[in-house]
Chain A
Amino acid sequence: MSGHVSQTAAPSHSDHSASPWGGGTSPYKVSYGKMMMWFFLISDAFTFSGLLTAYGFMRHKYEDIWPTAGDVFTHFPFYDGHIELAYVAFMTFVLIASSVTMVLAVEAGHRMKKKSVQFWMVLTIIGGAIFVGSQAWEWYHFIHGTEHGAYLLEDGVTVMRHKIDPHTHVIEEGTFLVPVNRDGALTEGSGFREVTGNEAAAMKATATHIHGANLKHNEYGIPLFADFFFFITGFHGFHVFSGVVINFIIFLMVVEGKFEKTGHYEMVEKSGLYWHFVDLVWVFVFTFFYLL
């Protein structure tokens, strides 16, 4: 091949922009690998958007009885009180910080600083591991539920919850909340109604006492909330996990000195793109699942 090229006076690096139609150039001025990573990320973005849009669909459909994330995710390590969304805010910060360490690794790669690339990649991997661990911790608390639990009515779907004061977080003993239109009719009211006394006792008699959430029932209300939570955060968590694995493999390649030989650290840049994408998805999951 090289013989042929030398005879036909191959275009040198300086005149590669002569004509985009002459071949041998990339109109986008990006390498093949980087472009394909971008195209993969677009398809992955479609997947996540589909999931979040489906979530939005169901949430708008059951707007009146959808659980508030602030009531569900109230735990914080080593703190025995009620503190809303603090832990998930911490997780978000960890992921953003690991995104920054990743971009610093990419930047160090552009200056061919091997030591620096290694350092920032180790921090990125640690940040990712903390995030996955935090997610496991949060799943544990969601699956485990609260001490007081809730009552799954005889239809196997509707949940009768304890009424909890939104400000003091204390249970109002003997008062329960049930969705209004569970009887099938198009009722004028929506949301929840309070059930007390004999009515509550009668409903409790045929109900099952449940704690926490799984794919079948959910202590905090409609089972769809738990289904979407497990699927979306699970799918995202799986992305973070594979990101940590990919980063670790690239890290080993950096240590080996493979990219010093190749002459560029573009592989770090490509895995960086994936890692930032994982952070990008989390920004949306955080807003739509936890904040709204």
Chain B
Amino acid sequence: MDARDDIYEYSLDTHHSEEQGKKMRKKFMGVLALLSVVTIVEVGMGMMWSRDESMAAILKYTFIILTLVKAGYITMIFMHLGDEKKSFQWTVLAPYFVLIGYLIFICLVEAVYTGEMRPGIENYFGF
């Protein structure tokens, strides 16, 4: 197959030197350590406080924030979205945040309402 020389092949950009490679591997190991520590902390917190009613709200929001931190590291470092152009980052993330933010908002509000209006447990498929 002849390579077309009128179109720039962006896949050819996917090279780096030994030097850069070393730096990147160090970064990946740092992220691995961070993700493992966060997971261990989460499980530990769950074991200690999951039955403690007074801790429920704190636990819930701590878990959600820690999850978003983990997700951020996975997308930005492992999927190296952080190395892409700003415009591409926004193209990927903006539609997601707008639509899912809306979906989560509307569903949780409705869920609390339907929970209050719940006629009985036997009607568990009903809305």
A contact set with B: CB distance below 8 Å: 1-2, 5, 10-13, 16, 24-31, 33-35, 38, 42, 45-46, 49-50, 53-54, 56-63, 65, 68, 70, 84-86, 89, 92-93, 96-97, 99-100, 102-104, 107-112, 155, 157-158, 166, 179, 181-186, 222-224, 263-266, 269, 272-273, 276-277, 279-280, 283-284, 286-287, 290-292
Q: Is the CB of A287 within 8 A of B64?
A: yes
A-B Cβ contacts below 8 A, count: 207
Kindly state the separation between the CA atoms of A63 and B77 in the bound complex, as whole angstroms. 36
Q: Is the CB of B47 within 8 A of A84?
A: yes
- Whether B40 is near chain A, meaning CB under 8 Å from some CB there, is yes
Known A-B contacts A99-B78, A111-B18, A181-B118; the reply to A29 vs B110 at CB < 8 A is: no
CB-CB under 8 A from A184, the residues of chain B are 119-120, 122-123
Residues 8-49 of B at the A interface (beta carbon under 8 Å):
8-18, 21, 24-25, 28-29, 31-32, 35-36, 39-40, 42-43, 46-47
Q: Is the CB of B15 within 8 A of A112?
A: yes
Select the residue from A60, A86, A290 with max chain B CB neighbours within 10 A: A60
CB-CB under 8 A from B79, the residues of chain A are 272-273, 276-277, 280
CB-CB under 8 A from B15, the residues of chain A are 110-112, 264
CB-CB under 8 A from B95, the residues of chain A are 42
Known A-B contacts A70-B46, A70-B50, A155-B122; the reply to A93 vs B25 at CB < 8 A is: no
Which residue of chain A is the closest to B42 with respect to CB atoms?
A: A291
CB-CB under 8 A from A181, the residues of chain B are 118, 120-121
Kindly state the separation between the CA atoms of A93 and B112 in the bound complex, as whole angstroms. 34
Known A-B contacts A111-B17, A284-B71, A291-B42; the reply to A61 vs B28 at CB < 8 A is: no
A sample of 22 cross-chain residue pairs with beta-carbon separation below 8 angstroms, ordered by A number, consists of A12-B5, A24-B6, A24-B7, A30-B84, A34-B11, A46-B96, A50-B103, A53-B104, A56-B108, A58-B111, A61-B111, A62-B124, A86-B43, A100-B28, A108-B21, A110-B16, A111-B21, A182-B122, A264-B11, A280-B71, A290-B46, A292-B63
Kindly state the separation between the CA atoms of A213 and B42 in the bound complex, as whole angstroms. 27
CB-CB under 8 A from A56, the residues of chain B are 104, 107-108, 111
> How many residues of B are in contact with the other chain, CB < 8 A?
72
Known A-B contacts A182-B121, A284-B67; the reply to A10 vs B5 at CB < 8 A is: yes
CB-CB under 8 A from B71, the residues of chain A are 280, 283-284
Q: Is the CB of A49 within 8 A of B103?
A: yes
Kindly state the separation between the CA atoms of A5 and B96 in the bound complex, as whole angstroms. 40
* Least Cβ–Cβ distance between B9 and chain A, in angstroms: 7
* Least Cβ–Cβ distance between B116 and chain A, in angstroms: 8
CB-CB under 8 A from B91, the residues of chain A are 28
CB-CB under 8 A from A182, the residues of chain B are 120-122
Which residue of chain B is the closest to A85 with respect to CB atoms?
A: B43
Q: Is the CB of B32 within 8 A of A96?
A: yes
Select the residue from B10, B16, B24 with max chain A CB neighbours within 10 A: B10
Residues 51-110 of B at the A interface (beta carbon under 8 Å):
51, 59-60, 63-64, 66-67, 70-71, 74-75, 77-79, 84-85, 87-88, 91-92, 95-96, 99-100, 103-104, 107-108, 110
